[in-house]
Structure 1
Amino acid sequence: MQCYIRIVSEVNEISQRDLRTRSKEIMDAVESGHRFTVTRDGRGIAELVPLRGRRTFVPVAEFVALGRGLTTTDPDRLRADIDSMGDQLADDPYAR
Protein backbone atom coordinates (compact mmCIF):
# COMPACT_ATOMS: atom_id res chain seq x y z
CA MET A 1 0.00 0.00 0.00
CA GLN A 2 1.31 3.42 -0.92
CA CYS A 3 1.49 6.22 1.66
CA TYR A 4 0.64 9.70 0.51
CA ILE A 5 0.04 13.26 1.58
CA ARG A 6 -2.30 15.18 -0.71
CA ILE A 7 -2.53 18.95 -0.46
CA VAL A 8 -6.10 20.24 -0.47
CA SER A 9 -6.14 24.03 -0.15
CA GLU A 10 -3.93 24.67 2.90
CA VAL A 11 -4.87 21.47 4.70
CA ASN A 12 -2.87 18.32 4.04
CA GLU A 13 -4.92 15.16 3.74
CA ILE A 14 -3.30 12.00 5.12
CA SER A 15 -4.54 8.46 5.52
CA GLN A 16 -4.84 6.79 8.90
CA ARG A 17 -2.06 4.43 7.81
CA ASP A 18 0.21 7.40 6.97
CA LEU A 19 -0.38 8.81 10.43
CA ARG A 20 0.58 5.52 12.03
CA THR A 21 3.71 4.93 9.95
CA ARG A 22 4.95 8.54 9.66
CA SER A 23 3.79 9.98 12.97
CA LYS A 24 7.09 11.74 13.82
CA GLU A 25 7.28 13.48 10.45
CA ILE A 26 3.62 14.48 10.63
CA MET A 27 3.81 15.70 14.23
CA ASP A 28 6.90 17.75 13.36
CA ALA A 29 4.90 19.34 10.54
CA VAL A 30 1.99 20.06 12.90
CA GLU A 31 4.40 21.61 15.38
CA SER A 32 5.67 23.92 12.64
CA GLY A 33 2.12 25.08 11.86
CA HIS A 34 0.73 22.65 9.26
CA ARG A 35 -2.80 21.25 9.52
CA PHE A 36 -3.84 17.75 8.51
CA THR A 37 -7.12 15.99 7.85
CA VAL A 38 -6.86 12.29 8.66
CA THR A 39 -8.87 10.04 6.35
CA ARG A 40 -10.13 6.48 6.56
CA ASP A 41 -11.38 4.85 3.38
CA GLY A 42 -11.13 8.21 1.63
CA ARG A 43 -13.32 10.23 4.00
CA GLY A 44 -12.17 12.66 6.67
CA ILE A 45 -12.40 11.43 10.25
CA ALA A 46 -10.18 13.81 12.24
CA GLU A 47 -8.14 16.99 12.09
CA LEU A 48 -4.66 17.49 13.44
CA VAL A 49 -4.06 21.16 14.15
CA PRO A 50 -1.34 22.98 16.07
CA LEU A 51 -2.26 24.19 19.52
CA ARG A 52 -2.70 27.91 19.84
CA GLY A 53 0.36 29.81 20.89
CA ARG A 54 0.93 30.44 24.53
CA ARG A 55 -1.18 33.23 25.92
CA THR A 56 0.75 36.31 26.83
CA PHE A 57 -0.35 38.62 29.56
CA VAL A 58 -0.68 42.35 29.08
CA PRO A 59 1.71 44.37 31.24
CA VAL A 60 -0.05 46.43 33.93
CA ALA A 61 1.07 49.74 32.41
CA GLU A 62 -0.42 48.78 29.04
CA PHE A 63 -3.66 47.64 30.66
CA VAL A 64 -3.97 50.94 32.55
CA ALA A 65 -3.25 52.88 29.36
CA LEU A 66 -6.14 51.10 27.64
CA GLY A 67 -8.53 52.59 30.19
CA ARG A 68 -7.33 56.16 29.81
CA GLY A 69 -9.81 58.36 28.04
CA LEU A 70 -12.80 56.18 28.83
CA THR A 71 -15.74 57.92 30.38
CA THR A 72 -16.69 57.14 33.93
CA THR A 73 -20.02 55.60 34.76
CA ASP A 74 -22.32 56.96 37.43
CA PRO A 75 -23.13 53.84 39.50
CA ASP A 76 -26.56 55.15 40.57
CA ARG A 77 -27.60 55.84 36.98
CA LEU A 78 -26.29 52.44 35.86
CA ARG A 79 -28.27 50.71 38.60
CA ALA A 80 -31.43 52.62 37.63
CA ASP A 81 -30.96 51.68 33.96
CA ILE A 82 -30.51 48.02 34.86
CA ASP A 83 -33.56 48.10 37.13
CA SER A 84 -35.69 49.62 34.36
CA MET A 85 -34.55 46.91 31.95
CA GLY A 86 -35.36 44.27 34.54
CA ASP A 87 -38.98 45.42 34.54
CA GLN A 88 -39.11 44.81 30.79
CA LEU A 89 -37.69 41.33 31.21
CA ALA A 90 -39.92 40.39 34.13
CA ASP A 91 -42.41 38.66 31.83
CA ASP A 92 -42.33 34.93 32.57
CA PRO A 93 -42.62 33.07 29.24
CA TYR A 94 -43.89 29.96 31.04
CA ALA A 95 -46.78 31.83 32.70
CA ARG A 96 -48.58 32.20 29.35
Structure 2
Amino acid sequence: MDVISQREFRNNSAAIMDGVEAGKTYYVTRNGVEIAELRPIQRRRGLTSEELCAKHRKLPRVDAELLRQEADEFFGSEDRIGD
Protein backbone atom coordinates (compact mmCIF):
# COMPACT_ATOMS: atom_id res chain seq x y z
CA MET A 1 0.00 0.00 0.00
CA ASP A 2 1.32 3.42 -0.98
CA VAL A 3 0.12 6.79 0.26
CA ILE A 4 -0.11 9.47 -2.42
CA SER A 5 -1.39 13.03 -2.41
CA GLN A 6 -4.30 14.23 -4.47
CA ARG A 7 -1.86 16.29 -6.52
CA GLU A 8 0.38 13.28 -7.14
CA PHE A 9 -2.64 11.28 -8.22
CA ARG A 10 -3.71 14.04 -10.61
CA ASN A 11 -0.23 14.48 -12.10
CA ASN A 12 0.64 10.77 -12.39
CA SER A 13 -2.77 9.18 -12.86
CA ALA A 14 -1.75 6.95 -15.79
CA ALA A 15 1.18 5.42 -13.90
CA ILE A 16 -0.90 5.05 -10.74
CA MET A 17 -3.72 3.35 -12.65
CA ASP A 18 -1.14 0.99 -14.18
CA GLY A 19 -0.10 0.13 -10.63
CA VAL A 20 -3.69 -0.50 -9.61
CA GLU A 21 -4.16 -2.71 -12.64
CA ALA A 22 -1.09 -4.65 -11.54
CA GLY A 23 -2.63 -5.17 -8.08
CA LYS A 24 -1.32 -2.24 -6.02
CA THR A 25 -3.45 -0.34 -3.54
CA TYR A 26 -3.05 3.40 -2.92
CA TYR A 27 -4.39 5.67 -0.21
CA VAL A 28 -5.03 9.17 -1.49
CA THR A 29 -4.58 12.12 0.86
CA ARG A 30 -5.81 15.69 0.79
CA ASN A 31 -4.00 18.12 3.09
CA GLY A 32 -2.30 15.15 4.74
CA VAL A 33 -5.55 13.36 5.59
CA GLU A 34 -6.36 10.04 3.95
CA ILE A 35 -9.63 10.43 2.06
CA ALA A 36 -9.75 7.55 -0.41
CA GLU A 37 -8.56 4.06 -1.14
CA LEU A 38 -7.74 3.19 -4.74
CA ARG A 39 -7.54 -0.55 -5.31
CA PRO A 40 -8.31 -3.12 -7.98
CA ILE A 41 -11.81 -4.48 -8.10
CA GLN A 42 -12.22 -8.15 -7.28
CA ARG A 43 -13.78 -9.77 -10.30
CA ARG A 44 -15.08 -13.27 -10.14
CA ARG A 45 -13.96 -15.58 -12.88
CA GLY A 46 -16.78 -17.02 -14.94
CA LEU A 47 -17.47 -20.73 -14.77
CA THR A 48 -16.66 -23.04 -17.64
CA SER A 49 -19.48 -25.18 -18.99
CA GLU A 50 -17.91 -28.23 -17.33
CA GLU A 51 -17.79 -26.47 -13.94
CA LEU A 52 -21.38 -25.29 -14.32
CA CYS A 53 -22.59 -28.80 -15.18
CA ALA A 54 -20.70 -30.28 -12.21
CA LYS A 55 -22.35 -27.75 -9.86
CA HIS A 56 -25.75 -28.47 -11.40
CA ARG A 57 -25.37 -32.22 -10.79
CA LYS A 58 -24.89 -31.55 -7.06
CA LEU A 59 -28.20 -29.68 -6.72
CA PRO A 60 -31.11 -31.51 -5.10
CA ARG A 61 -33.89 -32.79 -7.34
CA VAL A 62 -37.07 -30.73 -7.47
CA ASP A 63 -40.38 -32.48 -6.88
CA ALA A 64 -42.61 -30.63 -9.36
CA GLU A 65 -45.88 -31.77 -7.78
CA LEU A 66 -44.80 -30.69 -4.30
CA LEU A 67 -43.58 -27.36 -5.70
CA ARG A 68 -46.96 -26.75 -7.40
CA GLN A 69 -48.83 -27.71 -4.20
CA GLU A 70 -46.74 -25.34 -2.07
CA ALA A 71 -47.10 -22.53 -4.61
CA ASP A 72 -50.87 -23.01 -4.73
CA GLU A 73 -51.05 -22.96 -0.92
CA PHE A 74 -49.01 -19.79 -0.75
CA PHE A 75 -50.40 -17.86 -3.74
CA GLY A 76 -53.76 -19.54 -4.18
CA SER A 77 -54.81 -21.60 -7.19
CA GLU A 78 -58.02 -19.85 -8.19
CA ASP A 79 -56.30 -17.18 -10.31
CA ARG A 80 -53.93 -19.58 -12.08
CA ILE A 81 -54.23 -19.29 -15.86
CA GLY A 82 -52.95 -22.75 -16.67
CA ASP A 83 -50.23 -25.28 -16.14
Q: Decide: shared fold, TM above 0.5.
A: yes
Is the aligned partner of 1:79 residue 2:68?
yes
1:66 partner letter? K
Could you say which residue in structure 1 is the equivalent of 2:34? 44
Q: Does 1:67 align with 2:56?
A: yes
Extract structure 1 runs of 4+ deviating beyond 4 A: none
The runs of 5 or more residues in structure 2 that have no matched partner are 77-83
* Greater relative CO (CA pairs within 8 A, separation 6+): 2
| TM-score, length of structure 1 as denominator length | 0.56
Q: What is the aligned partner in structure 2 of residue 31 from structure 1?
A: 21
1:79–1:44: structure 2 CA closer, same or farther, 3 Å change rule?
farther
Residue identity matched to 2:49: V
- Relative to structure 1, the CA distance from residue 32 to residue 77 in structure 2 (aligned partners, 3 Å threshold; closer, same or farther) is same
TM-score by length of 2: 0.62
Determine helix, strand or coil for the equivalent of 1:66. Answer: helix
